[in-house]
Amino acid sequence: MMRFPKTFAEAQAQISSIQNRLSELRTHVDVWRYPVTSQHAQEWLYAPATHTPRTALLLTAGVHGIEGYVGLGVLDVFVREFLPRLDERTVGVAIVPMVNPWGMEHMQRTNAQHVDLNRNFLTDPAAFDPEFNPDYQRLRPFLAPDRPVSPTDMSLFWARVLRVLLGTGLKSLRNATMLGQYSDPKGLLYGGDKVQPETRAFMEGLDTLLSNYEHLVHIDIHTGYGPRHEMLIIFPHEDRRSLETLRTRYAYPRVVKTSGGEFYQTQGSLGSYVYRRAQEQHPGKEPCVTSLEFGTFGNSTPASLRSLRALVLHNQLQHHGVQYPVQYPHVRERILREFRELFMPSEPAWYEHALERARQGLQGLLTGEQLIAIPEHRSGHHA
Ligand SMILES: [Zn+2]
């Protein structure tokens, strides 16, 4: 049984199988198709509530394209083990397996315009502000050098990062990087200069969903941050409930908020947008908006710096290629391998932990939202 696809062809096959499973279990399934490039569409698989629409359960993967491969594994667990336990009379289910299909096909985090979609969910055009995140500008020569990767860049990274850390400190380096920026189209975590087609498609789908249900539960799947072999459930800072309340309600220990100090700050994130939109459409109702983050390298200082190196070199490679590609063919290969390792690890045991945490998290969230009843047994089959 294929659980976590490794290639785009496997990913497409798995999406078909998810769609088939949805069709087997639900009375109606519609596919909403939004073209986002000349060759790619963002598809929403939608199974409406059949009687009294109450809660919309939205699951999304591949906002950061390459992270969608793990995401599809989690969606597979959802349709096999949790979907059969939902009440189709009241719960509508929407699954977006690839929010960023170009990024998935090309094993990139960004879309084809090099935009990080998770920094692109901004409704005010003035928010695409090149002056935002001045620390990024200051660190730009280190974070996004304007030249091809040289064969020594991988090893020299440590000396360079040390020099930067002495002036800046790890926390502000991390913030300057992860916050996103709107000034440098060839830089790291570029949020774009306008709303992207994938973002626009998502906003449309979301509004259609929100117009039919008064309550929203959203689960968005990511990889690459947090402790290795663990999964964080991240709530947007707009959610006013305390971490303690969230831990208890969803029976899950590793809960964080986007600006809680533990997790990095963002601007234009999908989660914040979804939360605010749900509240605008249904004032007074508290949506449950989450992302699941599966940790890969870990969160020690060396692991954070290794993640940063993977992002910096990969970005530099995308925009400027490598120096002496004929003499040093392995440079490109090593950078691509390291980047892939950050978002879809090669260690088979990693996936065992991911499955276990995904089950625990889905169980906690769906039980806490009273969408499934009995906690001790899982229906459906598993190996
Ligand atoms: Zn991500």
CB atoms within 10 A of CB 49: 23
- Using pLDDT thresholds of 50, 70 and 90, give the confidence band for residue 185: very high
Q: Dump pLDDT digits (tens) for 34-77.
A: 999 999 999 999 999 999 999 999 999 999 999 999 999 999 99
Q: What is the DSSP string of 260-327?
A: SSSS---SS-HHHHHHHHHHHHSTT---EEEEEEE-SS-SSHHHHHHHHHHHHHHHHHHHH-BSSTTT
Is pLDDT at 286 greater than 50 in this prediction?
A: yes
Q: Dump pLDDT digits (tens) for 300-329.
A: 999 999 999 999 999 999 999 999 888 888
Q: Compute, in angstroms, the gap from residue 212 CA to the centroid of ligand 1.
A: 28
Q: Compute, in angstroms, the gap from residue 27 CA to the centroid of ligand 1.
A: 33
Q: Dump pLDDT digits (tens) for 125-153.
A: 999 999 999 999 999 999 999 999 999 99
Q: Compute, in angstroms, the gap from residue 67 CA to the centroid of ligand 1.
A: 6
Q: How far is CA 211 from the centre of its chain?
A: 24
Q: What is the DSSP string of 235-265?
A: E-TT--S-HHHHHHHTT-S-EEETTSSSS--
Task: Return d(Cα 259, Cα 238) in angstroms, integer.
Answer: 9
Q: Compute, in angstroms, the gap from residue 290 CA to the centroid of ligand 1.
A: 12
Mean pLDDT to the nearest integer, 273-279: 96
Q: Compute, in angstroms, the gap from residue 118 CA to the centroid of ligand 1.
A: 7
Q: Which strand (E) or helix (H) includes residue 217?
A: strand 215-223
- Using pLDDT thresholds of 50, 70 and 90, give the confidence band for residue 337: very high
Task: Return d(Cα 300, Cα 111) in angstroms, integer.
Answer: 29
Q: Compute, in angstroms, the gap from residue 114 CA to the centroid of ligand 1.
A: 14
Q: Compute, in angstroms, the gap from residue 179 CA to the centroid of ligand 1.
A: 13
User: What are the tokens at 244?
Assistant: 């303690």
Q: Compute, in angstroms, the gap from residue 64 CA to the centroid of ligand 1.
A: 5
Q: Compute, in angstroms, the gap from residue 110 CA to the centroid of ligand 1.
A: 10
pLDDT, position 264: 56
Q: Compute, in angstroms, the gap from residue 56 CA to the centroid of ligand 1.
A: 23
Q: Compute, in angstroms, the gap from residue 228 CA to the centroid of ligand 1.
A: 15
Q: Compute, in angstroms, the gap from residue 357 CA to the centroid of ligand 1.
A: 17
Task: Return d(Cα 4, Cα 109) in angstroms, integer.
Answer: 18
Domains and CATH numbers, the chain: 8-116+193-296+345-368 (3.40.630.10), 134-178+299-343 (no CATH)
The pTM of this model reads 0.94
Mean pLDDT to the nearest integer, 103-107: 98
Q: Compute, in angstroms, the gap from residue 41 CA to the centroid of ligand 1.
A: 20
Q: Compute, in angstroms, the gap from residue 257 CA to the centroid of ligand 1.
A: 15
Q: Compute, in angstroms, the gap from residue 376 CA to the centroid of ligand 1.
A: 31
Q: Compute, in angstroms, the gap from residue 256 CA to the centroid of ligand 1.
A: 15
Task: Return d(Cα 338, Cα 322) in angstroms, integer.
Answer: 15
Which residues fall within 8 angstroms of residue 310, CB to CB, at 6 or more apart? 297, 335, 338, 339, 341, 342
